[in-house]
A and B are shown apart, each in its own frame.
Chain A
Amino acid sequence: MPRPGVIVWEALRNVFSKKATIDYPFEEGVKPKYGLRGAHVLYIEECTGCRACQRVCPSLAIEMVPSELTKTKKRPVINLGQCIFCGLCEEACRYDALFLTDYIELSAFQQKEMIIYENEPPKEEISEGNEPKEEDS
């Protein structure tokens, strides 16, 4: 039998219940603890330039450029504008050099800003950067 206004009580009850939404930019969004697929992190000292990540990438977001730092004299440059965040590159990397982080706020004003690790870091910085970390741990 049809009963009118079944949803009215439902709607009224929600007036006094907890808020379902969040004030996003001021309040932190809800993220899973692990497993989120966001922007990449590349440990260039581990990378050998084996091109596994480039070959497996479905959207051709990874490009290999000449470099002095790696074994094969090549290193990956990642275009986050083309990336679909499938995580295949992370799985393909045998040397644990490439990771996806939970950093997902990736909006930018220019296309250039979406390309990460475009410029080669100087050799000295890499070696210096590693030392204090080891001391801390």
Chain B
Amino acid sequence: MADKKKIKLGSPQTGCSSCIPNTFEIPLGPQHPALKEPTHFLLEVEGEIIVNATPRIGYVHRGIEKLAETKTYSANLTLVERVCGICSHIHSISLANAAEAALALEGFEVPLRAQYIRTIVAELERIHSHILWLGVAAHEIGFDTLFMLSWRDRELTMDLLEDISGNRVNYAMNEIGGSRRDMNQSQIDRMLKYMDITEERMERYKDICINENTIRMRTQDVGILLPQKAKELCACGPTARASGVAIDVRYDDPYSAYGEFRDIFNVITYDTNDVFSRVVVRIIETVEACKYIKWMLKNIPDGPIFKKAPRKVPEAQILSRTEAPRGELIHYLWSNNTNKPYRLKITTPTLSNINTVPEMMKGDYLADSTITLASIDPCFSCEDRMITIVNNDRRKPKIETWSESQLRKYSNDWHAKNKRWKK
């Protein structure tokens, strides 16, 4: 596969070297039919082949971290759920884990049943996120039959989530010190029944994706990310696992109830390093998630689901790692013995995975750029929370950190120059 890539890169140069440039620049985004959210890729193409790609992010920065400093912890749980529309529950688990770890310094413990309920909802969320991604990826390669079928099966999981939490998207299930809603026996029976159906369907999709030519021809040998490069570029989640790098926070550093079934946990990896490998890894992960949910439902302990936590969180700096459907999610919480966080820093998986996209795109055809970009399951509005100032010349980006006075001067100068600009 590596040889094939080299052959592609060494293709004959097009055009006359004196008058026509060898490469052309094509912008992909910020508004593009292939993108669900705004982002920008500057693609340098040589004929039909992409030579270089430069990502530019930051179109949907919303200032959630600053807003989190003004709200109490229980209000922040509902706020951080709004970071991502699809993987919302895992954000609130992350923040709750961080705050509870700080409270554990004073001997606070969360009931085990609450941890199980959190983990079940997180795994349900992973199932619906992966099936959603399968549909989107099938749509990107023009295979709409699979898109329709997989989204129909996703509805079962969405119904379960609505039944448990009362909402289809932002569940608001967590509270500092436990879970807000309990599960009764009829819900558990229904979940077991639906998980059987989902598992059977996903086995079927695995069969389809591995055997169907429509998917194989569009995804094999496209978007290759070698394991060495994946490690260098800090890939995480299914993107890294599809390159054969066995990292999974659920297994490496178990949180919530993942430590209870570490013996039966499998870290799914695949070794073809291309988009096909990412499809297979995500589908097998969904099948595994169904198994974990069934194990947890059978072994869920009785007891309270909530323990009232003190309102003030003691002073601590805590890094909370969780495995979101897209990869490793990091919440860094700095508490200062008040009921509001002093600082909350969120790093989402797409931010580390976006660096791998130019590497994947190099040497591929322009028409494959959309499925390559979709293969990391990008979520651009999640990742946009960095404040850096980059030079105007995109080819040689130089990142500087400015002080407040420098920023103020820049702002004053800019407004003096652009007097007619209105807010």
A: which residues have CB within 8 A of B?
1-7, 10-11, 14, 20, 30, 32, 35-37, 56-59, 84-88, 91
Contact A30–B159 (Cβ < 8 Å):
yes
Residue from the list B71, B79, B162, B208 in contact with A10, Cβ < 8 A: B208
Given that A6-B211, A10-B208 are contacting pairs, would A88 and B162 also be in contact in the complex, using a CB cutoff of 8 Å? no
Residues of A close to B207: CB separation below 8 A? 6
Select which of B75, B76, B149, B208 is within 8 A of A56 by beta carbon: B75
- Asked whether, in the complex, the Cβ of A35 is within 8 Å of the Cβ of B181, the reply is yes
Instruction: Establish whether residues A58 and B79, one from each chain, have CB atoms under 8 Å apart when the complex forms.
Output: yes
Determine whether B300 belongs to the interface, using a CB cutoff of 8 Å to chain A.
no
A-B residue pairs in contact (CB < 8 Å), sample of 22: A2-B211, A2-B213, A3-B211, A7-B146, A7-B208, A7-B214, A14-B149, A20-B155, A30-B159, A32-B162, A35-B164, A35-B181, A36-B162, A36-B167, A37-B172, A56-B74, A58-B76, A84-B78, A86-B172, A87-B172, A87-B180, A88-B74
B167 near A37 with CB under 8 A, answer yes
Count, A-B residue pairs, CB within 8 A = 69
Contact among A2, A11, A37 for B166, CB-based, below 8 A: A37
Q: Which of B78, B155, B159, B207 has the most CB of A within 10 A?
A: B78
Which residues from chain A contact B159 at a C-beta distance below 8 Å? 30
Residue of B nearest to A33 (CB): B163
- Residues in B whose Cβ lies below 8 Å from that of A87: 166, 172, 180
Which residues does chain B contribute within 8 Å of A5, judged by CB atoms?
212
Main secondary structure of the interface of A (DSSP, over half): loop
Q: Given the complex of chains A and B, what is the CA–CA distance between A37 and B165 in angstroms?
A: 9
Residue of B nearest to A4 (CB): B213
Whether B216 is near chain A, meaning CB under 8 Å from some CB there, is yes
Given A7-B146, A56-B74 in contact, is the A85-B211 Cβ separation under 8 Å?
Answer: no
Verify B180–A91 contact, CB threshold 8 A: yes
Does B145 count as interface, using CB distance less than 8 angstroms?
Answer: yes
Per the bound structure, the CA–CA distance linking A30 and B155 in Å amounts to: 11
B216 touches A2 (CB 8 A): yes
Q: Is B152 an interface residue (CB 8 A)?
A: yes
The answer to whether B208 touches A6, judged by C-beta atoms less than 8 angstroms apart, is yes
Provide the residues of chain B in CB contact with A6, threshold 8 Å.
207-208, 211-212
Q: Which residue of B lies closest to A11 (CB)?
A: B145
What 0/1 readout, one digit per residue, does chain B (156-174) give for beta carbons within 8 Å of chain A? 0001001111110010100
- Chain A residue with minimal CB distance to B77? A58
- Nearest Cβ in chain B — how far from A57, in angstroms? 8
**A102 to B, closest residue via Cβ:** B166
| Residues of the A chain whose Cβ atoms lie less than 8 Å from the Cβ of B74 | 56, 58, 88
Q: Which 9 A-B pairs have the closest CB atoms?
A: A58-B75, A35-B166, A86-B172, A37-B166, A58-B78, A32-B163, A3-B211, A86-B78, A20-B152
Q: How far is the CB of B106 from chain A (nearest CB, A)?
A: 23
Nearest CB in chain A: distance from B180 CB, A: 7
Least distance between B303 CB and chain A CB atoms (Å): 20
